[in-house]
Chains A and B, each alone.
Chain A
Amino acid sequence: MDIISPAFGLIFWMTLTFLIVFFTLKKFAWGPILGALKDREKTIQDALDSAEKAKQDMLQLQSNNEKILMEARAERDTMLKEAREIKESMINEAKGKAHKEAEKLLKDAREAIQGEKAAALTELKNQVASLSIEIAERILKSELSSDDKQKALVNTMLKEVSLN
Chain B
Amino acid sequence: MTTGIKGFTHIRKLIAIISFLFILPVFSLAGDTVTQAKPAEAATKATEGKEKFNAGEMILEHVSDAHSWHVAGHFSIPLPVILYSKDRGLMIFSSSKLKDGNIFKGYEKDPNSKNGFKESGIHIVVANEDGTVNKEETAKLWDLSITKNAATILLTGLLLIFVFLSVAKGYKVRGTGAPKGIQSFFEPVVVFIRDDVAIPAIGHAKYAKFMPYLLTLFFFVLFLNLLGLIPFFPGGANVTGNIGITMTLACLTFIIMMANSNKSYWSHTLWMPGVPPVVKILILGPIETLGIILKPFTLLIRIFANILAGHIVALSFFSLIFIFGAMSAVAGYGVSVVSVIFTIIMLLLDTLVALIQAYVFTLLSAMYFGMATAEEEHH
Contact = CB atoms under 8 A, between A and B. Distances in A.
Interface of A: 1-15, 17-18, 20-22, 24-26, 28-37, 39-40, 43
Interface of B: 60, 63-65, 82, 113-115, 122-123, 142-147, 149-150, 153-154, 156-157, 160-161, 164-165, 167-168, 171-172, 175-176, 187, 190-191, 194, 208, 211-213, 215-216, 220, 242-245, 247-249, 252, 308
A2 B123 CA distance: 9
Nearest to A10: B244
Q: Which of A21, A28, A39 has the most C-beta atoms of chain B within 10 angstroms of its own C-beta?
A: A21
B114 A30 contact: no
A10 B142 contact: no
Contact of A21 (B157, B167, B187): B157
Nearest to A24: B161
Given A22-B212, A35-B171, A37-B191, 19 more contacts: A6-B247, A7-B242, A8-B142, A10-B65, A11-B247, A13-B153, A17-B153, A18-B216, A21-B161, A21-B216, A21-B220, A25-B160, A26-B212, A28-B168, A32-B168, A33-B164, A34-B194, A36-B172, A37-B194
13 contacts: A3-B64, A7-B65, A7-B143, A9-B143, A15-B252, A20-B157, A21-B161, A21-B220, A24-B161, A25-B160, A25-B216, A33-B190, A34-B211
B349 to A, nearest CB: 21
B64 A43 contact: no
B220 A30 contact: no
A22 B216 CA distance: 6
Nearest to A19: B252
A29 to B, nearest CB: 4
Contact of A10 (B147, B176, B216, B252): B147
